[in-house]
Amino acid sequence: MTLGQNIKKYRTQKGLSQNDLSEKLNVTYQAVSRWENDQVEPSVDTLRKMSSIFGCSIDDLLSVTDDVTPKETNEQETPTVHYVYQETKAQLALCHDCNKPIYTSEDIHRMKVVTRPAGRGHSAETREDIVCTSCYNKRVKAAQDKMKREQDEYIRSLKVRRIHSFIWPLLALAITVIVGIVLINKGQKDAGIYTLVGGGLFYFWLADVILYNNCVGDVFINIATWSIKLPGVIFTLDLDGIFFLIFVKVLGAILSFIVSVLATIFGFIISAAIGVFIYPFALGKNIKGTPDQLN
């Protein structure tokens, strides 16, 4: 008899069903069925528990004999062979990356992967991948390498912005200084002084805008986009009414243009004045590599 047949024999002798035996062993009844069909072998600990339940020894469970009547011969009886069976490990999961089975909970790692970034009208979509420890370490290293490359690229872009914030403002300042000196030499002292002051303000304004880590550009845009909204025009459906409508529309366009020009000049003056004080902090922030804006 095989091991499975022995288990079935002792179970039926005890009047136990497969479900009863599974409950006593803390396993499923399918496991008991597979043992009795010799598809899977129980572990040594399970055999020890079964021998205690059946009231027999482990050797009795492991004894393998042939169900035939022995011949009456003088031949020596074949000795009983004892086998030790080990239960097959249960597969808990399958690695998403390498497709290898995972048998222990310590080797299971769950990682969320963004399949669709968040956008207008929808939230981010993610999936959960189950990977083994080896693939988990590879993913972590790949993520760290990607982050390092992004940081290096970001530091490089900061350096480029810093260099440009020196070159172009200095070039503009040199031009305004030359123009201011020429105007002063020609006797236009007030115009020359205004040019020099405007060149100085433009230097700090342009440098702050190029650094792009402060609020100067936002202040300028918010003020420069000021506009006026003209009320609706009531007119008659005749020639005079149409001419009146055209006149009001043209006048409104001219007023809107003037307001836009004045708002742009005012926005430049205000943002440039703020930029004079913000520039040292913006430059320091660029050197340190901190991307947050000064608000």
The residue type at 13? Q
Q: How many CA atoms lie within 13 A of 270 on its CB side?
A: 15
Q: What is the mean pLDDT of the chain?
A: 84
Whether 32 contacts 23, CB under 8 Å:
no
Give residue 166's pLDDT band: very low, low, confident or very high (50, 70, 90). very high
Whether 132 contacts 102, CB under 8 Å:
yes
CA distance 280 to 220: 19
User: pLDDT per residue over 86-135, tens digit each?
Assistant: 555 677 788 999 988 888 888 889 998 888 888 877 888 898 899 999 99
CA distance 265 to 271: 10
Q: Supply the pLDDT for residue 120.
A: 79
- C-alpha dihedral (177, 180, 182, 186), degrees to nearest 10: -160
Say which residues have a Cβ less than 8 Å from residue 253's Cβ, sequence separation at least 6: none
Taking 50 as the threshold, does the pLDDT of residue 72 lie above it?
no
Q: Model pTM?
A: 0.54
Instruction: Give me the residue spans of the domains in the chain.
Output: 1-88, 93-147, 162-288
Please give the structure tokens belonging to residue 175: 């031009």
Q: Supply the pLDDT for residue 66.
A: 52
Please give the structure tokens belonging to residue 209: 């805008």
For domain 1-88, the CATH superfamily is lambda repressor-like DNA-binding domains (1.10.260.40)
Whether 57 contacts 47, CB under 8 Å:
no
The residue type at 29? Y
Please give the structure tokens belonging to residue 172: 């503009």
**Residue in this structure with the two tokens 């009456």, named with its chain if needed:** 72
